[in-house]
A and B are shown apart, each in its own frame.
Chain A
Amino acid sequence: DIQMTQSPSSLSASVGDRVTITCQASQDISNYLNWYQQKPGKAPKLLIYDASNLETGVPSRFSGSGSGTDFTFTISSLQPEDIATYYCQQYDNLPRPLIFGGGTKVEIK
C-alpha cells in the first residue's frame, strides 16, 4: 500500500507569514493528490485537488504543487481564519482506499 508522509506535524507562524507543508508518497502517484482543511469539530473541506487545482470558492492564498512523489501545499499569507489542521490525501485505482497523510496543525504565533 502507498504511504503518505506529511510534515511538519505542527507549525506556528505569524499572521501574514508564508506557510509551507509537504507530503511525500512512498511511490509515484502522478498528480493524484488532494489537500483538505479541517477545523475543530468540523468535517474536512477540500481545498486543492489533483495537486494544484484550487477548489471553487477557496481563497487564492492557498496553492499546491508537485507530482510524482513530492508535493507542497502553501498558504501565501497566513490569516487568523486559516487556523486548522491540513491533510494531504492520495488516490489511485479508484474506488480503492483514499489514504491520508498524518496532518499538520497550523497555529498562530
Chain B
Amino acid sequence: EVQLVESGGGLVQPGGSLRLSCAASGFTFSSYDMHWVRQATGKGLEWVSVIGTAGDTYYAGSVKGRFTISRENAKNSVYLQMNSLRTGDTAVYYCAGAVTGSFDYWGQGTLVTVSS
C-alpha cells in the first residue's frame, strides 16, 4: 500500500521557521519527483516546490529564497525547510509524488499556521 505521511506542521510566529517531513512507502521513492503543494483554507491548490530524481530543485516565486526542499532516498523521505514565514504561508501542505506529469500519490496534509 502506498503511503505518504507528512509531519512537522504547527503554529509559528511570523518570521519563524518550520521543517516539514514526508515519509514515503509502498513505491520506488527514488524514481519519483517529489513535490510540495499547499492549500490555504477555502482556496485553491498552489504548487510550492519540486525536487527531481537527480536532486534538481524548483520553487514557486512566492517562496523562492525562503523555502528549501531536499530528499533523502535512503530514508524514503522529502523535506521542506521553511524560513522567514509569513501569514500568507498559512495552509495545509501536501507532499505528492509524480513520475510523469501527474501527481500519482498524495499525503494527507499537514497544517501550517503562521500567526502572532
Contacts and interface: CB of A to CB of B under 8 A. Distances in A.
A44 B102 contact: no
B44, B56, B98, B102: residue with the most chain A Cβ atoms closer than 10 Å: B102
B101 A44 contact: no
B45 A95 contact: no
A103 B109 CA distance: 19
A90 B103 CA distance: 11
A36, A43, A46, A85: residue with the most chain B Cβ atoms closer than 10 Å: A43
Interface size class of B (residues with CB under 8 A): 20 to 34
A61 to B, nearest CB: 20
Contact of A44 (B45, B51, B98): B45
B45 to A, nearest CB: 4
Given A94-B33, A97-B50, A87 B103 contact: no
Nearest to B34: A95
Contacts of A87: 44-45
A40 to B, nearest CB: 10
Interface size class of A (residues with CB under 8 A): 20 to 34
Interface string A83-102: 00101011110111111111
Given A44-B45, A103-B44, A98 B107 contact: no
A89 B44 CA distance: 12
Given A43-B94, A95-B52, A98-B35, A34 B102 contact: yes
A96 B60 CA distance: 10
B6 to A, nearest CB: 10
Given A94-B33, A96-B50, A100-B45, A89 B56 contact: no
Interface string A37-48: 010000110100
Interface of B: 33, 35, 44-47, 50-53, 56, 58, 60, 94, 96, 98, 100-104, 106-109
Kindly list the 5 A-B residue pairs having the minimum CB-CB distance in the complex, ordered from nearest: A91-B101, A43-B106, A95-B52, A95-B33, A103-B44
Interface of A: 32, 34, 36, 38, 43-44, 46, 49-50, 85, 87, 89-92, 94-103
